């Protein structure tokens, strides 16, 4: 097994931890990645947009943190398996996984939704997270305190008209994550969900194009909850954390 990666002079609540964050090129994923790095973790950042990942990496390094960039389209699910194998070869384990990547798709009546667009949303928001669990579970089991955090949305728990594949995929994700939590309950892994609430993010702006900017908190404003659940001292398990009530 590879030796644990240890940043130089690590400090913070996540000092020396290895953390994978999906959808990390912008928005909430970028904010979580930067916060984890500031807390002493070495962050592995994945997203489709290389330029966005590099910009996040620049900010992390400027602040004294460390990161590994992995350009990855989560729809290419076979590459998720390869990611797991590559991480094992380099690090031997994962301490933290934050499954943040998501796509909104088209909002509108289900009866008029395009099958290809429906399949795309379900592939990114649900199927990719199933494949991610398969890939990282063996790595989390190698950690002394594996932590998995999945980003969900209240529209999956309180159905509203016209939210289509996005809401359905988030509802499926809630069930998937709770099942996984039950399956690892007797291990050192702790699995939880976070609903950050409305944020000033790309998905929010796409869903509500007429809404004024800066109506809602910035992604960086809600990262405390992620640090708390990623902390090796945390005992929370199978919890849904509502950041904004």
Q: Residue 164 burial by CB count (10 A; 0-12/13-18/19+): exposed, middle or buried? A: buried
Output the pLDDT for position 71. Answer: 96
Positions of the chain with pLDDT lower than 70, given as ranges: 1-10, 245
Output the pLDDT for position 1. Answer: 31
Residue 7 lies in a domain: no
Domain count, the chain: 1
Residue 1 lies in a domain: no
Residue 6 lies in a domain: no
Output the pLDDT for position 193. Answer: 98
DSSP letters spanning 170-181 = HHHHHHHHHHHH
Output the pLDDT for position 245. Answer: 65
Residue 65 lies in a domain: yes
Residue 234 lies in a domain: yes
pTM tops 0.85, yes or no: yes
Q: Considering 112, 166, 180, 208, which one is annotated as catalytic?
A: 166
Output the pLDDT for position 116. Answer: 96
88 is catalytic: no
User: Residue 132 in contact with residue 81, Cβ under 8 Å?
Assistant: no
């Amino acid at each position: 097994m590879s030796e644990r990666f240890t940043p130089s002079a690590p400090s913070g609540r996540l000092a020396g931890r290895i953390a994978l964050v999906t959808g990390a090129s912008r928005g909430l994923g970028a904010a979580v990645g930067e916060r984890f790095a500031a807390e002493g973790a070495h962050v592995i950042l994945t997203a489709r947009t290389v330029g966005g990942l590099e910009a996040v990496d620049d900010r992390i390094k400027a602040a004294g943190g460390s990161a590994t960039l992995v350009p990855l389209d989560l729809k290419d699910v076979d590459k998720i398996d390869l990611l797991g194998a590559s991480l094992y070869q380099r690090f031997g384990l994962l301490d933290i996984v934050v499954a943040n990547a998501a796509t909104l798709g088209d909002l509108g009546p289900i009866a008029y939704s395009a099958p290809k667009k429906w399949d795309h949303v379900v592939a990114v928001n649900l199927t990719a997270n199933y494949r991610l669990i398969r890939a990282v579970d063996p790595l989390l089991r190698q950690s002394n305190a594996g932590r998995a955090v999945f980003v969900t949305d209240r529209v999956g728990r309180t159905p509203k008209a016209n939210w289509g594949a996005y809401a359905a995929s988030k509802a499926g994700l809630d069930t998937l994550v709770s099942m996984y939590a039950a399956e690892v309950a007797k291990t050192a892994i702790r699995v939880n969900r976070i609903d950050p609430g409305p944020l000033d993010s790309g998905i929010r702006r796409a869903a509500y194009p007429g809404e004024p900017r800066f109506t809602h908190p910035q992604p960086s404003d809600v990262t405390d909850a992620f640090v708390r659940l990623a902390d090796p001292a945390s005992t929370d398990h199978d919890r849904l954390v509502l950041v904004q009530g």
